[in-house]
A and B are shown apart, each in its own frame.
Chain A
Amino acid sequence: MADTSFRETLIRLRYKWSFQQFIAELLQKRWMEPVVPFTAAVLVVLAFAFLIPGYLTVGNIASTGRQFGEFGFVAIAIAVVIISGGIDLSVGSIFAMANFIALMLFNMYEVSAPVAIMATLGAGALMGAVNGFLIGYVGLGAFLTTLVTMLIFRAILNLLILRYSVEMAISMGDSRVWDWLGGGSVFGIPANILILALVAIVGHIFLSRGRPGWYIAAIGANRKAARHAGIPVERHLFLTYVISGVLTALGGVFYAARLNSPSSDTGVGMEVLALTAVVLGGVNLSGGKGSIGQSLIGATIVLVLINGLVRFGLVGGATSAFLGFMMLLAVGIDVKWSRNRNKAIEKIYVVPTYFKLGKRHDISPESVSPYALNNRLRDAEAIGLGKLDGPEDVIFDSDGNLYCGTREGFIWRFSGKDLQTQEIFARTGGRPLGMAFDRDGNLIICVAGMGVYGVRPDRSVYKLTDETTRTFGKVIDDSRLVLADDLDIAPDGKIYFSEATLRYTAHTWATDALEGRGNGRIIVYDPATRKTRTLLQNQIFPNGVCVAHDGQSVLFALTWACRIERYWIAGPKAGKLETLIADLPGMPDNINRASDGSYWLALVGLRTPAYDLAMEDPGFRTRMIKRIPNDEWLYPNINNGCVVKFDGRGAILETLGDIGGKSHPSVTSMREERGYLYIGGLSNDRIGRVKLSGVDENWNGPASYWGNRP
């Protein structure tokens, strides 16, 4: 026996922390997208630093930095265009043209530097506007149009250089601003890098926070949908190319200030470099996705690579070969990745762990166990039969009206003689689960997918909380409430509620059982301070919550662990957690007070030997999830349950069952009210009513909490 437990310990440790889950969560983060290019950039720099002596000298860094300051603008320009779903091949020509215009204005016409710069940017905007007009308003294809304008701008530039080169060679402007742009620095940071950083930050805010930026991305992601949404597509495409022209011209200005040379081969092939940079940075080529940061990371990789290859002494051909190779590799990975990312996440999302359930009681009707099943629920009187779709929880107000929440998101109310009048009391918009009445008669509801909401007696719905404190060090943001399940209210007004799981939704909650991992938590909301705080983490599907009769502790059910826990909130043991009932014969759901000072407990389903065994073998469950379709997975039995009564010390008092599940197969909640027990079920079509014998015929739920109303 000893080595069995040792083996168990090993398995338990092996599956305690999941690297796979960490990866799956990591992959879902948006900021993960540029991590691969960023790592590549760092690796490339490091590789060259090791391979080339003197690579990381101040001089080399400074000169690469200045090149980066010019190239970065072009990379941003092309990124903006690609995000809009287009392409701009004319950037190289616009860059060269801007270089020439700036030099001509500054040197030949001796215009002051700021005016020359503004005029050059204006010229860039104009060239971009030509592209934008043809692509946005005329509706031509971006590729052909910018290919044509690339040729036209280049041809015009060559003609201009031919005409003015002699005059430009003999004149020379002089300006401190100009010199600072070309060679100045602040604290050792080149001037153009400073401006680039500024432009990048402004551009990032523009793209990710501003309305035009959102529109541009929307057009790139789906032009038709953007048009249907009323986005002025033409105008924004035009704007995109103007932005591209201005940014490229800005790069050209810095180039002009640095080198002072109006050569005709300036910017030749720059569009390929910039495209490679953007692709390496991870900007999605089909449009709609990408950021300025990504394009700058890509620009870094390209420049460092070219610089390094040149310092290796490789001929021009090698640089081309590397560029082509990198571009193919980057786009190939990008295409494959964006196509298969969700599939990959799906494959590794469910992460089973080791969990050993205790002994399973004999619950057969012949057994003498307190859990012995009977048929007391079978002949329950049906309320709302066929008119209710999944009343997960049922509750009575102090006037004896019955409420339940259904799949459509409605709260139904039954009132009048024999509860025959059925009406919609409120609409929540989510999936209402557990309910409780507070001191003022407001109905407080856990709404799956939304949070904790309240309904006032005048039927108005209001929000109590939909987020809690974020767990420090957790990859995914767990502050939002995903699946608030059941709640109860302590005498001081604090609302204790359970969140069953953070990883699954109201539709996929049963898959959480296959993990057997503590994905849920117990949270407390204090209406006085409006603060929400997570009390207990890593609970295995915490479900029903009930404040004990004395108000000193909170009882909650752990569904997959088949346990009832008690958490002390007052008295000498405050803050302590202990197990009240272990090894239930089924999966516990809601817990509610009984009139005699004990508690009712709904078992949503009964344990089966196969499921118990599967929980001890995480490897088996992993293989099952990977290899067979999910409608053939071994799920826990949630088709057949019962109601159990237990006292404050955890002793089982009686059981009410429905063998064969004729009217109440799976039970998720029950409430005692004036001598009757009312039964709810997550996927049932009715509320059941059973007469109880020997109980207080005047007992009412809210009165047990808040006293009888005057």
Chain B
Amino acid sequence: MADAVAIKDGGSAAVKMSEGKFGLGTLSQETLVLATTVVIFLACALFVNGFATLPNISTLARSVSVLGILGVGMTVVVIGRGLDLSQVAVLAICAAWSLKLIGLGYGLAAGIAMGLGMAVAIGAFNGFAISIIGIPALFTTLASGTLVYGIGRWLMLDGIITYAPDNQPFLLALGQGEVLGIPVPLVIFAAVALVGHFILSRTSAGRFVYAFGDNAEAARLTGVSVRVLTIGQYAFSAAVAFLAGLVTAGSVASINTNVFSSSLIFDVLLIVVLGGVSLSGGRGSIASVLAGTALIGTLLNAMILLDVQGDVQNIVKSVVLLGAITLDRKLHPRDEETARQGDL
């Protein structure tokens, strides 16, 4: 009897606690981000000239699609408590190599297959170095990205920019085409997001990714083949990065390998983390990426229309991210007793 009373009391205390947070704690981060996006979107539609036009929305969708595609790959890796900094190198080098091979007359299918094969090999190598050798993901992908970029520039490609070969309408359509009035990049992003969502929420491999990200040791002890799982995650991320590269190549008919030294990887991390995917693993979903992509896309588009300087844009993005992770830290304070060593 006394026990029952105690449980009842504990229950009501818990309800009170969640009420004390003004409902913030009960809201998921993606809902919060989506709400912010809607507010910003409406504000922009009202106050920014030329924002709420169909061509602009279409441009917005095109421009954020590549980011979103990369974000899906990154999300899968980050939920598994990893990090893939080699995405941009794969995007640039593998896609450019594909273009070069197609230009040399290997044919579209063969060129794309070889590019994809290289990307998957790089991803698998990342997974191998991380799960079997045991190098931290940050260093593995930082180094492998540098290595891939270096080898690509040094031995595989001829110059900084690789142009898309002529007479390849399919390639250009990937970036510039429309299906039923919807830009193809957006369609690809939607497809990739659907596949990612399906894998993460409907397959055992996807559930294992969450389990591994939440508690790697427990997942291993339960019998999850964690090494294969890790290799698979990075291979998926690299394959998705290659696809993003093809979309990029299609939209501007070329690949500029200097994208490697841009802040693109930062933007990818930005949308992933903003949407609520935690770098300590196990938390987040594809919905997080969609929310993050929508917010950043709207923000970037508005800033471009307002003719805000690139550096100022960077500062705004950075401050937004800083605000998001600080808020996250306040809502989910670090528990020093259970925090794992080496959390980045």
A residues bordering B, Cβ < 8 Å?
A: 85, 87, 134, 138-145, 147-149, 151-152, 154-156, 158-159, 162, 222-224, 227, 268-269, 272, 275-276, 279, 285-287, 314-325, 327-328, 331-332, 335-336, 339
B263 interface residue, CB < 8 Å from A? yes
B53 at the interface (CB under 8 A from A): no
B147, A224: Cβ atoms closer than 8 Å: no
A interface: dominant SS: helix
In the assembled complex, the Cα of A227 lies from the Cα of B338 at a distance in Å of: 12
Task: Closest B residue to A288 by CB, please name it.
Answer: B341
Residues of B that sit less than 8 Å from A by CB: 83, 129, 133-136, 138-140, 142-155, 261, 263, 266, 269, 273, 279-280, 309, 311-312, 314-315, 317-319, 321-322, 325-326, 329, 333-334, 336-337, 339, 341-344
User: Total A-B residue pairs with C-beta atoms closer than 8 Å?
Assistant: 152
- Distance between B196 CB and nearest chain A CB, rounded to angstroms: 22
> Chain B residues with Cβ under 8 A from A162's Cβ?
311
A151 touches B263 (CB 8 A): yes
Q: Which of B134, B153, B315, B333 sits near A339, CB closer than 8 Å?
A: B134
CB atoms of A335 and B315 under 8 A apart? no
Question: With contacts A152-B319, A155-B311, A315-B153 known, what are 6 further pairs, Cβ within 8 A?
Answer: A143-B138, A144-B344, A317-B151, A322-B150, A324-B150, A336-B134
10 contacts between A and B (CB under 8 A): A87-B138, A142-B344, A152-B319, A286-B136, A321-B150, A322-B150, A328-B143, A328-B144, A332-B135, A335-B135
- Are A327 and B143 within 8 A (Cβ)? yes
Measured in the bound complex, the distance between the Cα atoms of B138 and A144 in whole Å is 11
Question: Could you tell me the distance in whole angstroms from the C-beta of A337 to the nearest C-beta in chain B?
Answer: 11
Candidate in B139, B266, B339 with the most chain A CB atoms within 10 angstroms: B139
Q: By the criterion CB–CB under 8 Å, are A224 and B339 in contact?
A: yes
Closest Cβ–Cβ distance, residue A25 to chain B (whole Å): 27
Report Cα–Cα, A120/B152, bound state, in Å.
Answer: 39
Q: Which of B140, B142, B280, B326 has the most CB of A within 10 A?
A: B142
Q: Report A133 CB to chain B, min CB distance, Å.
A: 11
Once A87-B138, A155-B315, A156-B315 are accepted as A-B contacts, the answer to whether A286 and B150 lie under 8 Å apart by CB is: no
Other-chain residue from B150, B321, B325, B333 in contact with A323 (beta carbon distance below 8 A): B150
Given known A134-B322, A285-B136, A336-B133, contact A331–B342 (CB-CB < 8 A): no
Q: Which of A147, A224, A275, A336 sits near B341, CB closer than 8 Å?
A: A224
> B342 contacts A139, CB within 8 Å?
no
State in angstroms the CA–CA spacing of A281 and B342 once bound together. Answer: 20
Are B339 and A223 in contact (CB-based, < 8 A)?
yes
- The residue on B at minimum CB distance from A223 is B341
**Which A residues are CB-close (under 8 A) to B341?**
85, 222-224, 286-287
A141 CB to nearest B CB, Å? 5
- How far does the alpha carbon of A272 sit from the alpha carbon of B315 in the complex, in Å? 22
With A141-B325, A144-B269, A223-B339 as contacts: A320 and B153 at CB distance below 8 Å: yes
B261 and A148 within 8 A (CB): no
Residue of A nearest to B125 (CB): A328
Contacting pair A141 B279 (CB below 8 A): yes
- Asked whether A139 and B140 contact (CB < 8 A) given A144-B344, A224-B337, the answer is no
B143 touches A331 (CB 8 A): yes
Measured in the bound complex, the distance between the Cα atoms of B142 and A323 in whole Å is: 11
Is B312 a contact partner of A159 (Cβ separation < 8 A)? yes
Smallest CB separation, A707 vs chain B (Å): 65
Minimal Cβ-Cβ distance residue in A for B257: A317
Residues of A within 8 A of B149 (CB): 317, 320-321, 324
Distance from B63 Cβ to chain A, minimum over Cβ atoms (Å):
19
Q: In angstroms, how far is the closest chain B Cβ from the Cβ of A142? A: 6
A139 near B154: Cβ-Cβ < 8 Å: no
Could you tell me if B134 and A327 are in contact, using CB atoms closer than 8 angstroms?
A: no
Residues from chain A with a CB closer than 8 A to the CB of B140 are 328, 331
Closest to B148 in A: A324
B residues less than 8 Å from A320 (CB atoms): 146-147, 149-150, 153-154
